[in-house]
Amino acid sequence: MTFTRSKLFIASALATTVALSACSNANNDENKQAPLTASTPATGEASNLSERNAQQRLITTLGEHFKKVGIPAKVLDVKATEVPNLYWVSLEGMPSVYATSDGKYIIQGDIVRLGDKQLHNVSDSLQAEVNKQLLSQLNKKDLIVYKAKGKTKHVVYVFTDVSCPYCHKLHEHMNEINAKGIEVRYIAWPRGEQFMPTMESVWCSSDRQAAFNRAIRNEQLEPATCKNPVQDQYKLGLNMGVNGTPAIYNQEGVYLGGYLTPEELDTRLNN
């Protein structure tokens, strides 16, 4: 497995390292409708069908363009954005990008709407929707869970790596975080291939929480291997756009930030 942060650069391969964020990376059927006939061209249905056809054409076009320049990108889904003729494109094992409706241009980064009192990132709700679905598919048994003290008010998912100083700092405040009614669910996200063995040793321990507590204190763990979810969790992070640790998300898939104090985390969860 190659541990790189995926980012589209047409002149080269699709996977490459990106900017730092806290501790950086080191290296339906329900939507189907009955076919329309000439005698039943309902306006809403025709509009939906036209949009689905446009999305499928875009998926095909992007696939052809990626293949032509040797980019191993698989398009999972496209969704229209609030910007005319601009789509949000979900890619397998890498961050989402924007694409023009004709498939000739892709855009990385943020597109921000102006005009309101606050700036609005066009992709926020689209990415959160994808993230929520991905997080809901996680098996809690595959995570390291620190339960809330008393009533659970919030649950957060945190992509973490025991080699990351900011993850150490966050973990130091775990008791305070839990005391605020916040349950923390850790997801493995080794920032480089060299950190993979330690994270696997943690996840292969009979007591993951105890092993994580030791590893985060820089204590040496005995090497351990087993069938584990670490690589799958790393790929999950790529799909969600993770580019460093810690990366904190709420249950709705909204990115809350990197390192946050217990007070900052509580405030963001309650807003």
Separation of alpha carbons 199 and 196, rounded Å: 5
Separation of alpha carbons 97 and 85, rounded Å: 14
**Dihedral, CA atoms, 174, 177, 178, 179, nearest 10 degrees?**
120
The single residue listed with the structure tokens 């990626």 is: 66
Catalytically annotated residue among 5, 23, 185, 191: 191
* 207 annotated active-site: no
Catalytically annotated residue among 5, 23, 164, 208: 164
Burial 164-193 (b: 16+ CB within 10 A, else e): bebbbebbebeeebbebbbbbbbbbbbbee
* 226 annotated active-site: no
Separation of alpha carbons 108 and 217, rounded Å: 37
C-beta separation of 248 from 258 below 8 A: yes
Burial 101-112 (b: 16+ CB within 10 A, else e): bebeebeeeeee
* 164 annotated active-site: yes
Catalytically annotated residue among 5, 167, 185, 266: 167
Helix/strand/coil for 188: strand
Catalytically annotated residue among 5, 23, 161, 266: 161
Residues in the chain: 271
Q: What amino acid positions are annotated as catalytic residues?
A: 161, 164, 167, 191
